[in-house]
Structure 1
């Protein structure tokens, strides 16, 4: 039976791009808030015995989570065979270790909560460092797809003589692969985080510019403190203004304006709707969805 695709509010553009890559039909639901702020969800499409997927990029997760869970519950009560979550951006993955007494590893709890609700998950480049794969923490089948090929294609078409630069060691996994696909060199800077909005960046092995354009690549751009500090460091070493590329465009507060003021350009993947979106990843997500639907059993098991 043809899958049905629902878009949570704010995810309509991503859902439309996926629908163009997949067989399926759009689903309809009323999702709004009561005057007191509580969430209201009403299922308007018939979903009995159908495969259903919900597209919801989980930036601003504390606001989005309750209506997402209510929609999933309505789909299950409506008789859907399987309910999957397509989360181009998966939140809370950066909180993957305990640094001070009294903290929790939020990544484990967030993934477990979603796993109790959805039969499968497809996401793109989650920020995993100490956790090696989403399957370690998500109790249902999960497919992770990658933006490297799409990012590399954009860089090849847009940036002459690129030098791929990772702002910190955590970015190496993305930077080295993108550089390989571009046929370019890469280097990784050394970052020390001093707080939520304060970092220092050093360049232990930065090569000579040689006319190359530095392309800073990171998976998540939130406060942009790391990107801004890296831009300034590269300029101190004689490089032209860098092009900054992010996979997930969180951009808290004035971060986007501050980065635009110092960079030659800012480009992001369209995992989170943002004016900086230049790199489409619908084809990658669609491939992950096809894999999930082909490999999973006929019905979910949330036990």
Structure 2
């Protein structure tokens, strides 16, 4: 029997797309919000004796996580046999160390919360830095789907004479993977962050990239300060307006408009967070992971 997909609020489009690709039914999940803000999930289709999959991307996580947690717990209460989570954007991965006295490693605590109410998880390009794999902090089977192949295909199909540019040294392996698959060169910028909205960028010798189209690639665009600073330096170096590609288009406050105003050619994102810039579909990669995990948990 196929698992049933359920969409948390704001995730119906992606859930329907996954259901069509997998040939899995899409159930009805209603979340009622009381006047004081409390959430009350209600499954309008039977979940008893079934494996279910809840789809919820986790941008603006604090406004989403309680309803998601309760949905999983209610499904378990109603007799669901296995509960999977599809979180195309996985929040709470940045705080992977104790940077200041009195702080905690909140990525670990968030992982404990999710691991305690779901049986498995699929996400796309989580922010793995000091945690080298999701299994470092998650105790459930968790697959991190890579967006790089889809990004490479988009670059090859839509950008003339591209050069892929990573925003910092940490992005080199990812930028090289995207560039190699797109059959184009790459380089990496040097970034120094002085705060959430204060980023300094230095650009290597750009003489060899004259006449090429710079393609800035980043995993997360939140304030977009890194991409804005990089765009300014590329203009100063005499390069054309860059194409900016991000996996997770968070774009808080006026970040999207500010990046447009910085003089970019185009802004493109993957469909992990619903946004007008979505043009790169990563559903195919998620489908493969979902099939594997659903079969694995059914077999167990």
The normalised TM-score by structure 1 is 0.96
- 2: CA distance, partners of 1:205 / 1:239: 11
The answer for the alignment partner of 1:271 in structure 2 is: 272
Residue 104 of structure 1 deviates from its aligned partner by 0.9
The answer for the alignment partner of 1:281 in structure 2 is: 282
- 1: CA distance, partners of 2:105 / 2:64: 20
User: 1:125, 1:144 within 8 Å by CA — same for their partners in 2?
Assistant: yes
Deviation digits for residues 98-125 of structure 1 (CA, Å, limit 9, x no counterpart): 1111111111111111000100010010
The answer for the alignment partner of 1:43 in structure 2 is: 43
Q: How does 1:128-143 map to 2 (within 5 A)?
A: 128-143=128-143
Deviation digits for residues 56-78 of structure 1 (CA, Å, limit 9, x no counterpart): 00111100001101111111111
- The count of corresponding residues between Structure 1 and Structure 2 is 299
Q: How does 1:1-303 map to 2 (within 5 A)?
A: 1-261=1-261, 262-296=263-297, 298=299
- 1: CA distance, partners of 2:55 / 2:251: 21
- 1: CA distance, partners of 2:207 / 2:137: 39
- 2: CA distance, partners of 1:146 / 1:8: 23
Deviates more, 1:203-212 or 1:60-69: 203-212
Gaps of 5+ in 1: none
- Structure 1 runs of 4+ aligned residues shifted over 6 Å read none
Deviation digits for residues 133-164 of structure 1 (CA, Å, limit 9, x no counterpart): 00110111111111111111111111000000
User: 1:30, 1:41 within 8 Å by CA — same for their partners in 2?
Assistant: yes
- 2: CA distance, partners of 1:76 / 1:119: 11
- 2: CA distance, partners of 1:19 / 1:147: 20
- 2: CA distance, partners of 1:207 / 1:179: 19
| Higher normalized contact order (CA 8 Å, seq sep 6+, divided by chain length) | 1
Deviation digits for residues 33-57 of structure 1 (CA, Å, limit 9, x no counterpart): 1011111111211112211100000
- 2: CA distance, partners of 1:117 / 1:30: 19
Residue 171 of structure 1 deviates from its aligned partner by 2.0
Gaps of 5+ in 2: none
User: 1:32, 1:41 within 8 Å by CA — same for their partners in 2?
Assistant: yes
User: 2:202, 2:233 within 8 Å by CA — same for their partners in 1?
Assistant: yes
Residue 297 of structure 1 deviates from its aligned partner by 5.2
- 2: CA distance, partners of 1:174 / 1:57: 22
Q: Tell me, what secondary structure is at the counterpart of 2:244?
A: strand
Residue 205 of structure 1 deviates from its aligned partner by 4.6
The normalised TM-score by structure 2 is 0.97
Q: Tell me, what secondary structure is at the counterpart of 2:104?
A: coil
Deviation digits for residues 214-259 of structure 1 (CA, Å, limit 9, x no counterpart): 0000000000000000001111111000000000000011000111
Deviation digits for residues 179-199 of structure 1 (CA, Å, limit 9, x no counterpart): 010011110100000111000
Residue 296 of structure 1 deviates from its aligned partner by 2.9
Deviation digits for residues 12-41 of structure 1 (CA, Å, limit 9, x no counterpart): 111111112102101112202101111111
- 2: CA distance, partners of 1:207 / 1:41: 57
User: 1:125, 1:147 within 8 Å by CA — same for their partners in 2?
Assistant: yes
Residue 173 of structure 1 deviates from its aligned partner by 3.0
RMSD: 1.1
